[in-house]
A = this chain, B = another copy of it.
């Protein structure tokens, strides 16, 4: 890997685990195994590096969504798979969850600076709209559901769980980060959402 890519990966990790303010340029360089000055050489400064990390994180999710290919499935099957893979993506990409959250703490200021903001737009909304329409036509889903709201609900059911896993575990006195607990949450999420969409 080029030193640029090494830095990007290291920065991704550091920003995700410590937040923008908590992240250390020194730590990023060390993690990447390269000289600190290269950060400035390749990315200008800490903030711009953060922007690049955000971009690449969104690239990742977009790429995944593009590969999903739900259009050819029956509405209920497609929906179930969408819910499941959304949940799984969050489960496996806690970094992404943390990054998103931190960016929101900063009121999205870095995103705004990203020129090609359209790159970030999820293509999923269109897919979801299609599934909902087909499902409504077939009579398996309710009519008039707003795909944006459904998308937010699907994401939120998993996001909140993973984003707040430490405080929830503390409050409820159980470890929500175990495999069983996550599997259990997954079943509940799928179940709840599929029920909610029924006519």
Knowing A153-B157, A196-B192, A196-B195, the reply to whether A167 touches B104 (Cβ < 8 A) is: yes
Let me know if A120 and B172 touch, CB within 8 A. no
Q: How far is the CA of A36 from the CA of B111 in the complex (A)?
A: 34
> Which single member of B21, B105, B161, B184 contacts A101 (CB below 8 Å)?
B105
Give this chain's copy count: 4
CB of A85 closer than 8 Å to a CB of B: no
Q: How far is the CA of A160 from the CA of B152 in the complex (A)?
A: 8
Contacts of A178 in B (CB 8 A): none
Q: How far is the CA of A146 from the CA of B176 in the complex (A)?
A: 14
Let me know if A155 and B160 touch, CB within 8 A. yes
Hey, which bits of chain A sit against chain B, CB under 8 A? 18-22, 98, 100-105, 107-108, 111-112, 117, 120-122, 125, 142, 146, 148-149, 152-153, 155-161, 163-173, 184-185, 188-189, 192-193, 195-198
Contacts of A117 in B (CB 8 A): 170
Query: Please, which residue of chain B has its CB at the minimum distance from the CB of A146?
Result: B188
Let me know if A156 and B160 touch, CB within 8 A. yes
Let me know if B195 and A101 touch, CB within 8 A. no
Knowing A105-B102, A164-B104, A188-B153, the reply to whether A18 touches B19 (Cβ < 8 A) is: no
Q: How far is the CA of A164 from the CA of B152 in the complex (A)?
A: 10
Most-contacted residue by chain B among A19, A167, A198 (CB, 10 A): A167
Contacts of A173 in B (CB 8 A): 121
Distance (whole angstroms) from the CB of A41 to the closest CB of chain B? 11
> Which single member of B19, B122, B156, B195 contacts A156 (CB below 8 Å)?
B156
Contacts of A163 in B (CB 8 A): 101, 104, 159-160, 163
Let me know if B100 and A164 touch, CB within 8 A. yes
Let me know if B98 and A105 touch, CB within 8 A. yes
Let me know if A149 and B101 touch, CB within 8 A. no
